[in-house]
Amino acid sequence: MNTQMQDASPNSNPSPKHWSDLLEKVGRSQDEDAFAALHTHFSPLIRGFLQAHGGGMALETSEELVQEVMVKVWLKAHSYDSSKAAASTWIFTLTRNARIDFLRKHARQDAQTDPLTTEDIWDEDDGSQPYIYLHQSRTEKQVAHLLKTLPSEQRQCLQKVYMEGKSHTEIASELELPLGTVKSRVRLGLKRLQATIDVN
């Protein structure tokens, strides 16, 4: 972890706003330099995210998906709105959707008769709410910060859900744990990240 560097050298670790600005530039004027900078920063992260812990994807597959995601970034940048989500959150949702698309294409399912696309079900704008615009970037920083303090078993479960795209049931059988244990680890992890909203 190189958290100490965060404040000391802003150049090696630009702020989230830096990436959001670049992304908006791509959206506004199809700025290739801005896109190149985003590519240099995010492609290795997307690749690392998808290949995580050997439980992730095969190399060629993740390679194909990284490119897929970056193409989407280029094509959809015009719809990106930095007041709704950080660049990384937006790119996470594109990555997630690309993986769903890929798995679906390769599953033995009749995609021909399917009236829905992945984007119909997982819209990258879905979570964006005027309600929380004000607190968005603060919350994003907070989640990132708290992630580093997560107990390893909670972290492991969250990584499997998000990075390996596994359902709770799959994780339970892989780790030989009761389903209830996996569920509570995920729940506790999310709570610790303050990523759950108290009802009422």
| End-to-end Cα spacing for the chain | 37
Provide, rounded to whole angstroms, the least separation between the CB of residue 19 and other proteins: 10
Tell which residue, 145, 152, 143, has the closest CA to residue 196.
143
Provide, rounded to whole angstroms, the least separation between the CB of residue 101 and other proteins: 10
Cβ neighbours around 82 below 10 Å, total: 19
Burial class (CB in 10 A: 0-12, 13-18, 19+), 2: exposed
Q: How far apart (Å, rounded) are the C-alpha atoms in residues 161 and 182? A: 10
Provide, rounded to whole angstroms, the least separation between the CB of residue 173 and other proteins: 14
Burial class (CB in 10 A: 0-12, 13-18, 19+), 129: exposed
Provide, rounded to whole angstroms, the least separation between the CB of residue 176 and other proteins: 19
Q: How far is CA 103 from the centre of its chain?
A: 17
Provide, rounded to whole angstroms, the least separation between the CB of residue 144 and other proteins: 4
Q: How far apart (Å, rounded) are the C-alpha atoms in residues 197 and 108? A: 37
Q: How far apart (Å, rounded) are the C-alpha atoms in residues 24 and 35? A: 10
Provide, rounded to whole angstroms, the least separation between the CB of residue 17 and other proteins: 14
Q: What are phi and psi of 156, to 5 degrees?
A: -60, -45
